[in-house]
Structure 1
Amino acid sequence: MKMEERLDNMKIKTNINMFQVVFFAFLLSCLGSCYKDKGNYDINMPITPEIIGLDTLYEAVVGDSLIIEPRFEGIDANQLEFLWNIMVPESINPERDLYEGSSLRMLFGYGAKVYTTRLTITNKANGMKYFHNFKIRGITEFSKGDVVLSIEQGITKLSFVKPDNTVQPNIYEAINGENLPRDPLHIYFMRHTGINNATPLGYWIVTKNGGVRIDVDDLGLEKVKPNTIRDNFFLAPATIEIGNLQNHPNGVLMGVINGKFYGGTMQTWDQAHTYGMFGNNADGNYELAPQFIMSTINGNTIMIGYEKDKKQFVRLNIYGIPMYFGTQYTPIDPGIFDPHNVGMDLLHIIQINNADTYAYMKDATGNIYELKFKCDYIRDFNFRSEHKKLFVHQDWINADTKMVATQTGNIYIAAQNKVYRYNPINQQIREMETTFNDKVTMLKLEDDENTLIAGSEGSIYYMDIHVGRNGNLIKKIEGIPGTPVDMAWRK
């Protein structure tokens, strides 16, 4: 290589090395300066106004004044703007649902529902906005309390029991100017239990040949949706004879009408006018006894029914609508009793914790048998017979007997003017401590199953059935017209 080329190469390498030295010196200088500047900047974050005294839920009496007056700290309230927005889905003009000012003051003219509300706070100096959401629940004098269905001299009565235990008898007649249908069976508080803060769907009062739906907030006849059982059919049959209707967790009625199984439609919004209406009955050649079991397991609903002519247990499932499958299940241990050929009449059927089921049957000679079994109508589609034995108190069981079961396995049975706790596993029986002067005509369980509620001529009795307690009287509500039949409540 020539001397000139060597000199050129040395110059290039020297320049590259010099560039690297300068670059690393610059980098070290930047790192050092960055390190020295760390934490030396003054950041002026905008002050967030602190809101004090704003709850997550307010109750407002319909037609009365509502005042919400929180306090604000951390910034002068004069620098803030306030906008309250009550979100009313049915509102025609949403602008009317906007309110300005540091407090919300209004005459609450909305319905007895739950309304999401947003308070927007704007800092006028910098335009920053802060949002606070809460709810307002509209209530009436009937939004909390019990409704009691009874019968007095053949006339169906409805009473309202206030939270302070004051009784307003004959409330339906007073509000609607007419009597309820005769032969009452049940009253149900209808709501979609799978939805938080679900809008109540009314009270259904079910009677032998019909029934009515009333508004939960004023106890008047439902004004928008079907308000009679007959009108609740898309195409009503010529005659209606109700064997038994129950309240499905989705807030629709399901059960036996004219010996067939009907279920309220659930394939639409639960506020739609058609929600809960009866379409066609579950198709099949059958005649059901009034008594049946309805269980919801992991979102699946099954029914255990009884074909009264063929004297056999039958299967029904809900696949969008109720479907009758009859004896399309596999009997297990039919030697104990054959569910396809029971050969007796069903008087009562009751289930414990979606599992053990007890049926009380009457044979041709008048003997009462207790049949225990389990059904799997979801996965294996089988019916397991577990025992068949004469019931220990033959005189307790008839078509009018009242009984309820707890999930812990106890069955409470009313017999004349006494109530008993019966353990079907060991057949242990114990009389409750509360005494009654007249026949017990109603048995209910509080939602927590720690209180047993009994109805007897003119009165409602609340009994303590916590573990270790034996049905001692908690309280007694008097003034119910006639004999109680059923009751429902809103807490």
Structure 2
Amino acid sequence: MKQKILFYLPAILLSALLIQGCYKDKGNYTYNMPPRPELSLDTLYYATLGDSLIIDPHVKVAGNPHLAYEWKISVPSDVNIDVIDSSASFRILFTLDAMRYGAQLTVINQDNGMKYFYKFVVSGQTAFAKGTTVLTVQNGKTILSFVKPDSTVQADIFNVFNTGIALPTQPTQLVAVPEWQFPKSVKQYWIFGKGGPNTGVRVDANNFIQDRFFKDHFFDAPDTINPFKLIPNMLNVMSGVVNGRLYEGSRNTWNLAPIYGMFSGGAVGDYDLSGEIAYVYSVPDEPRAPSAYIAFDRVKYQFLRFFPTGADPVFIGTSYAVEGDAFDPKNVGMPIERLLHATNGICFAYCRAADKTLYELNFRAQFIQGAEPIGFKALQKRPFPRPELVKADTKWDITAAQIIYFTSGDVVYRYNPGNNDFRQLTTTFNGKAITMMKLLDNNTLAVGVENTLYYLNVSTGVFGTVIKKYDGLPGAPVDMAERGLN
């Protein structure tokens, strides 16, 4: 037994010394990490087709080690290969398609083998990357034109590149569809109208070449296609009312696939929609995709709820609780003329009774599934205070602050429903009837009359002074869209 104790004693003493050593150390080490290079590299570079793309970042690193570089532009194509370079500055003749490309610069410290990665984006563009596209009608002919930033009008640009292809007659909308996840970009334009062999035509925003008819945007197209109202979102798809049915572009595939954004059969249900529809977003300033639809049945005269899915929307109908007795949203009793959505489900609807009285309905539709319960707050119903100003061709729009702008012949009015304040904007249009009006943001109002597009300042305390105007447009403006100007 004594022999065993003597045998274990050195082991015990050694363990105690090891434990004591670990306790004193406490892992307090000093690391000398090599310094990371500092680069003057932007996150976004624009490259014009046929021009040189030069990226020459200034690289600074302590100790002046030997550095190597690897540049890469990732090209998502079966034909093109990635663009790779190993110079300190990146210089190429840009010949890729006009789209956005993910890119990366790798800086290699050859003295210690460390690699540092810097990601950025290259946005390929053409001569049409910046400017304003304007849809007009002249003597019954639909015309698409482009206005350069210097105000030069390239009239009837569609016919320059599309011989023998007809745009829709009786044009109603120009829809600028953004690139996926880039809300301020434009990838395609859709031109919609009420007549002609094609009621919808799509063109590539980079060259204005027609690349799809609306009938080919359906997996199974209906015999007759009447687009009422279409609105895009930042996921590169449209949704809206066609033939009284609600459609939503399919997102159940890769966003560069040819079938991405196409329409299926529409929302299933017993309804017949007006073109007056509102899209409500979970984040109002980020229209990623609708979180709810507020629609109006043009036969039953009732407000309906639809739920988006990324494919066919789901018809919820009138399955919502009603708060307030100003009016019954499930039985309005008259057709709708205009639905204005301010923000967060707050709306103003203008409905015409059988005796021709124009009513203003104010409500909040909380149709987004979330923290708040689903419901409809009927806030107010009253005759419109100035019905004599509303004409058959009156145009309407609304700001997020619930300031309404509407046209009356050759005049634009600013209307605050909160205090019944009506103000005529200061700019006059030489007696020309207003054919288009559109809020570009809360501070800028675009107004179109024969041959001219005006930009008016409607910021706080300003009542429609001219910011700029484009003359020389062929015909009367119907709609417009900007690209690369903000």
TM-score by length of 1: 0.84
Give the Cα separation in 2 of the matches to 1:93 and 1:62. 15
Matches within 5 A, 1:408-487: 408-437=401-430, 438-447=432-441, 449-487=442-480
Conserved? CA contact 2:182–2:234, under 8 Å: no
Matches within 5 A, 1:214-253: 214-222=203-211, 227-253=212-238
Alignment correspondent of 1:3: none
Alignment of 1:62 onto 2:52:
no
Match of 2:313, SS state, is: strand
Alignment correspondent of 2:393: 400
Conserved? CA contact 1:189–1:204, under 8 Å: yes
The Cα of 1:313 is off from its aligned counterpart by 2.1
Q: Deviations over 1:77-104 (max 9, x none)?
A: 995443322222225464x622232332
Matches within 5 A, 1:42-441: 53-71=40-58, 79-90=66-77, 92=79, 94=81, 97-124=83-110, 127-178=113-164, 179-191=166-178, 195-196=181-182, 200-209=186-195, 210-222=199-211, 227-298=212-283, 301-320=291-310, 321-334=312-325, 336-379=326-369, 380-437=373-430, 438-441=432-435
Corresponding residue pairs, total: 457
Q: Given the superposition, is the C-alpha separation of residues 300 and 166 from structure 1 closer, same or farther in structure 2, using an over 3 Å criterion?
A: closer
Conserved? CA contact 1:300–1:378, under 8 Å: no
Letter paired with 2:249: G
The Cα of 1:311 is off from its aligned counterpart by 2.1
The Cα of 1:274 is off from its aligned counterpart by 1.3
Match of 1:208, SS state, is: strand
Letter paired with 1:436: F
Conserved? CA contact 2:217–2:263, under 8 Å: yes
The Cα of 1:326 is off from its aligned counterpart by 2.5
The Cα of 1:132 is off from its aligned counterpart by 3.6
TM-score by length of 2: 0.84
The Cα of 1:59 is off from its aligned counterpart by 1.6
Alignment correspondent of 2:286: none
In structure 2, stretches of 5+ residues that fail to align are 284-288
Q: Given the superposition, is the C-alpha separation of residues 100 and 472 from structure 1 closer, same or farther in structure 2, using an over 3 Å criterion?
A: same
The Cα of 1:198 is off from its aligned counterpart by 8.8
Give the Cα separation in 2 of the matches to 1:322 and 1:221. 28
The Cα of 1:228 is off from its aligned counterpart by 1.2
Larger Rg: 1
The Cα of 1:49 is off from its aligned counterpart by 8.9
Q: Deviations over 1:23-57 (max 9, x none)?
A: 99xx99xx9xx9xxx99x9x9987x6956654333
Conserved? CA contact 2:390–2:407, under 8 Å: no
Match of 1:236, SS state, is: coil
Q: Deviations over 1:268-306 (max 9, x none)?
A: 222221111111121122222221222122576222222
Conserved? CA contact 1:114–1:197, under 8 Å: no
Letter paired with 1:356: I
Letter paired with 1:88: V
Q: Deviations over 1:141-175 (max 9, x none)?
A: 11111111111111111111112222211111111
Aligned-pair Cα RMSD in Å: 3.2
Q: Deviations over 1:236-261 (max 9, x none)?
A: 11111222222244332222222222
Conserved? CA contact 1:376–1:382, under 8 Å: yes
